[in-house]
Structure 1
Amino acid sequence: MKMGKLCKIVYIYLRLTFDYVVDGIFSLFWNCHKKEVPALDLKKHAVLTESATALAKKIRQKELKSEDLVRAVVERIKEVNPVINAIAADRYEAALAEAKEVDALIANGLSEEEFNKKPLLGVPFTTKESQAVKGMPFTMGLSCRRNEVADEDSEAVKRLKDAGAIVVASTNLPELLVWQETRNPVYGMTNNPHHTGRTPGGSSGAEAALTASCATVVSLCSDLGGSTRMPAFYCGVFGHHPTPGTTNLRGICFRSAEDQGSMLSLGFITKHVEDLAPLTTIIAGDKAPLLKLDRDIEIKDIKFYYMETAQDLSVSSVRSCLRAAMKSVITRISQEITSTENAPEPYYHKGFSHMYSIWRHWMTKEPEHLPSLCTNNKGDANGLIELLKKMVCMSKLCLFTIVRLLEEQVLPRVDPEWAEKISKELKEDLFTKLGDKGVLLMPSAPQPAPYHYSCFMRPYNFAYWAIVNALKCPATQVPLGVNAQGLPLGIQVVAAPYNDALCLAVAKYLSKEFGGSIKACKYK
C-alpha cells in the first residue's frame, strides 16, 4: 500500500513537471503571436455591456431601437472577428431588416399580452453552427459538408425566434464538436480574446469569444462534455448546463426531439448571470417548470460541499491559482453566509477518480456514430487509415477527429458493468447529500485556457466538466477573477437534477462577491 501511494505521488509530480514543460514550449511560439482585441467604444457601443433582459426591457419601453442594437452588434463583430475568427456565416442585412420590422411593430403599439409572449422582442442572438438555422450553413466543420445548408430551424432557434429574438450569425466550432479547441478545415481556428495564442475552448468556443469581446447579446450553446462550461471558463464568462432532458434537441447536429435520454443539454453563455434563468426558461418550453427557476432561494439556507481536486490520474493536477480561487470562495462563504454547524464540507467519492472513463462509457449510449458522421453518412471512416492519410497530407479530417476515431475503434472499451455500477453509486451518494438545498463546488479544469494545440498533450483534461454530463445534473460555470498572467479563473457549481435554481443563486452571489465576468478588451 505504501509503495502504491509513493508511486502515485511520484507520478503526480512527473505529470505536473510535464505540464509545465509543455506550456513552456508552446509559449515560445504563441506568446510572440498574440494580438489584442479592439477596445470597446462606449460612445458607440455601450449597450453591448448590458444584459439581454435589460436590453429587452429598453426596447419594450421605447428607450432603445432594435435596429440600433442589432447594428451595434454587427459593427462590433466586424471589429473583433479579424482577431478572434468566431463567425462561420452571417445574416447581417436580414437581421437589420427584421429589427426595423420590430421597431415599426412597437411604434404602432403592442399590448402587454403580446409583449409577454415575446420577452426577447428585438434582441439579437448568435448560435453555434451545429444548431440548424434555416438557410444558413450546416457543415459542422466537415469538408465533405461544406455546401450543406439547413432547411429548417432547430427547435431551440425556433423558440428564441418565437420569443422575438433575431439571429445575427452562426459561429465556429470544432469539427463534429469532438474537441477542446474550436478549429476545423471549413472556417479555421477561433482565438481566445484574453490571449489569442490560447484556445477559447470547445465546442462553443466562438460563442464564448464573442461574448467576452462584447460582440453578442445572447449566445445559444450546447454541452455534451463541457461544451458550454469549458469556453465560459476559458473566456471568463458565465455558462449554464441545464438538467439534461429538459431542453429540446431537435436540430442540434443530427438530433431529434426524442433524444431526451442523452447527456446533451442546450444552454447559454453570457456576461450577466441574471440572463441565464429567463433564457433557459424560453428554450425549455413546457419543461421549464421542472427546473424550478423561479424558486425563491436564500443563499444562507444553501448547504455547501466542495472538492478541491480529483484523483483521476488521466487528468492533470489542478494548478495552484485555481486551488487558491476555490479556497477564496470557501473562506468567503464560511465567513459571511453560513453558521458553524452549516459550514462548507469537503466531499469526495471514488467515482471522481475515474471521471473520464465514466463519461467515455456513457458516450457509447449517445446516438451519434462518429465513423459515419466523418463521411457525411457515406460509409464508415477508419481511424488507422485516416491517420496514415494524415501523415501524407491526404486526410480531410482534423487530427483530433482521427484521435477520437482511434479511441473508439482501437482502444479497449470501458467495462460497462463497472461503469454503470460506479455511476449509480456516485449519483446516489452525491444527490442524497445535496438534496434540494445543497450544491457541490468543484474545479472547472486543471488549468486556465491552454495554448493552441497543447490539448493534444493533455486530451482528457476536460473530464471535470464531462463527469457532470455523465451524472445528468445541472451546473453553472462561474468566473472568479484572473491569475498572474491575466487568464480567467473559475469554478463549477453543481446541484442535484432539477435544482438549476440553486446553481444560479450561488452564481449570482459569487458574481457580486468576486466581480462577475472578466473583460477581454479595454473600454474607451
Structure 2
Amino acid sequence: MTGLTPDSTAREQVAALRVGEISARELAELHLARIAERNPQLNAVVSLDPQRALDGAAAADEQLASGAEVGPLHGLPFAFKDTHAVAGWRTTYGSPIHADHVPDTDDLIVERIRGAGAVPIGKTNVPEFAAGSHTFNPVFGTTRNPHDPSRSAGGSSGGAACALAAGMVPLAEGSDMGGSLRNPASFCGVVGLRPSWGRVPAWPSENMWEATAVGGPMARTVGDLALLLSVLAGPDPRAPHALGDPGAAFAPPLRPVPLPGLRVALSTDLDGAFAVDPEVAGVVEAAGRVLAGAGARVTGAAPDLTGADECFRTLRAWHFQATLGGTLAAHPGRLKPSLAANIRAGESLTGADVALAYRRRTALAHRMREFWYDHDVLVLPVSQLPPFPADQEFPAEIDGTPMVSYLDWMRSAYLITVTGCPAISVPFGVTAGGLPVGIQIVTRHGGDRYLTEVAAAVEALVGTSPAGE
C-alpha cells in the first residue's frame, strides 16, 4: 500500500488508484477507520454502511482491473448530504417524519457523482430540512466542529464540511441557499463554493425556476474543489436553466490568477449591512493587506445591496411554504419551531410581495453588473462570527448586536445569495482560540472558473502565518 492517508488530497488519491498504488477497497478501509476514530465525537457521517461501502469498492477495483474506461472520481469513498436522495440508501432530511425513508432514484447531483465512479459509504448530517446554518436534528443529533467539538460545524452542509476537514471523506457535496456551503466551509477550515445559478443543475425540482438554492462542491483544497465541480457542472435536459459550459471546463489543473493588478473590493460589513465579530473583521482586513502586498489593487468598496435582505427573506419564506407547507399541515408540532415559523411566514405572502422580491432581485443583478465594471472580485466575511457553542441554535448576539432570529447572523452570506453571483469560502486565518475563519470571494455571474483560479492564488498566500499575514 502507498503512503496515502485519509488527509491526502483527492487528486492524490485518484492518481494512486489509477496506477495501482492502492486499491479502492484499501482506500475505503482507510476512510472507514478514520470514521470509526473521529465520528463518534463529531457525528458528521450518518447512515453509514461499511459492508456496502467495501462491496462497492471491490466492484470499483474489478472495473479498473478490467481495463474499462472509468470516471474522474473512480474509487473515491463518498458520503452524500442527507437532503439529497440516494437510491437504495436511507435519506432522512434530518426529520423524524422521514426517518425510515429509502428513495428509489438518485437526485441529479448524486447521479453525477456516482456516474463519475465514487463509492457511496453513507450520508452527511444536516439540520432539519436543511433549515439553518447549524447542524442538529432529532434523528441524529448535533454535528460538532472538528477543531473544537464544543463548537458548531455550521450548516446546512455541516456534516459534509466536518467529515471533509476530519479526513473521513476526500470530497463532499452540499447545497446553499443562505450560506449552507460557505458557512460550514469557513467554520471547519475547508473550501466551499456556491456556484452561479445554473452551473450545477438540480433534478427533481418542484420549481425549476427557483434561484436561491444551488448545489455545489466542498474540498480541502481549491484544486480538489475544481475536480468535483467538473463532475457536478454542465447542462442537463431536465434542467432548462442550466448553463451550457461542459463540466470539463472547470477541471484542474488551475492557473492561479496573477495577483498584481487584480481589482479587489474589500468590505468587512457591506457598508454597515450587518454586525461582525472583531476577530472575523480582522481576518478580512488582514486578507486585504496580504493581497495588496502581493500587488492587488485593494480598495474599500461594497455594492449597493438595497432591498437584498427583504428579497431573500421573502423568497426563502415563499420557497419553504411551497415545499414544506403540506408537511407542516400534516404533522403539526413535529417541525422545529424556527422552521415552522418560517413556513408560516410564507403563508401570509401575496403575489404582490413575491413580485416585489423579484423586482428587487432584478435591480440587484443590474447593480452588480455595474459593480463589476470597476472591480474583479469582492472580498468580505463568510460568516459574521467564528464557530459558536454547539449547544445554541444560533448566536444571541454579535459584537453587542442582538440576533433576533436564526437568519440574522448569516446576512454576510445570504445578501450575496440574491445577487446571483458565485461565491467561494477560502480558509484564511484563525481566531485567538484556534478556530478557522474563511474569507468570502465573489465575482460576476458565470465567472466560476475565474473565481476558482482567484481562490487558488489566494490559497497560495495563506501559509505565511496563522493570521494570514
TM normalised by structure 1 equals 0.78
Q: 1:208 to 1:99 in 2, by over 3 A?
A: same
Give the residue type in structure 2 aligned to 1:310. L
Out of 79, 90, 105, the residue aligned to residue 152 of structure 1 is: 105
Q: 1:416 to 1:190 in 2, by over 3 A?
A: same
CA distance in 2, matches of 1:77, 1:59: 20
Give the residue type in structure 2 aligned to 1:475. A
Give the residue type in structure 1 aligned to 2:439. I
Percent identity, aligned pairs only, is 25
Work out the number of aligned pairs and report it.
445
Does structure 2 retain, via aligned residues, the 8 Å contact 1:481–1:489? yes
Q: Which residue of 2 aligns with 1:430?
A: 368
SS in 2 for 1:344: strand
CA distance in 2, matches of 1:498, 1:474: 7
Cα-to-partner distance string for 1:387-429 (whole Å, 9 max, x where unaligned)? xxxxxxxx33223323423544579999556544443333222
Q: CA deviation at 1:359?
A: 0.9
Q: How do 1:64-463 residues align onto structure 2 when only pairs under 5 Å count? A: 64-110=22-68, 114-115=69-70, 118-251=71-204, 255=205, 259-286=208-235, 287=243, 289=245, 293=250, 298-300=257-259, 302-311=262-271, 315=274, 317-338=275-296, 343-351=297-305, 355-364=308-317, 366=319, 369=322, 371-375=324-328, 379=329, 395-409=333-347, 416=354, 419-434=357-372, 438-452=376-390, 453-455=392-394, 457=396, 458=403, 459=406, 460-463=408-411
CA distance in 1, matches of 2:219, 2:416: 20
SS in 2 for 1:510: helix
| CA RMSD, 1 decimal | 2.9
CA distance in 2, matches of 1:435, 1:280: 27
SS in 2 for 1:289: coil
Q: Which residue of 1 aligns with 2:239?
A: none
Q: CA deviation at 1:104?
A: 2.6
Cα-to-partner distance string for 1:119-171 (whole Å, 9 max, x where unaligned)? 11111111111111111122212222222111111111111111111111112
Q: 1:513 to 1:486 in 2, by over 3 A?
A: same
Does structure 2 retain, via aligned residues, the 8 Å contact 1:297–1:505? yes
Q: 1:455 to 1:413 in 2, by over 3 A?
A: farther
Give the residue type in structure 1 aligned to 2:59. E
Out of 47, 50, 73, the residue aligned to residue 8 of structure 2 is: 50
Q: CA deviation at 1:324?
A: 1.6
Q: Is the radius of gyration larger for structure 1 or structure 2?
A: 1
Cα-to-partner distance string for 1:161-206 (whole Å, 9 max, x where unaligned)? 1111111111211111111211111111111122222211111111
Q: 1:311 to 1:416 in 2, by over 3 A?
A: farther
Q: Which residue of 2 aligns with 1:30?
A: none
Q: CA deviation at 1:312?
A: 5.7
Q: Which residue of 2 aligns with 1:26?
A: none
CA distance in 1, matches of 2:197, 2:186: 20
Cα-to-partner distance string for 1:79-108 (whole Å, 9 max, x where unaligned)? 111101122202221221121122233334
Q: CA deviation at 1:486?
A: 1.1
CA distance in 1, matches of 2:256, 2:134: 36
CA distance in 1, matches of 2:321, 2:198: 17
TM normalised by structure 2 equals 0.87
Q: CA deviation at 1:278?
A: 2.2
Give the residue type in structure 2 aligned to 1:214. G
Structure 1: tracts of 5 or more residues without a match = 1-42, 387-394, 519-524
Structure 2: tracts of 5 or more residues without a match = 236-242, 397-402
Cα-to-partner distance string for 1:276-302 (whole Å, 9 max, x where unaligned)? 222112112334627853685632353
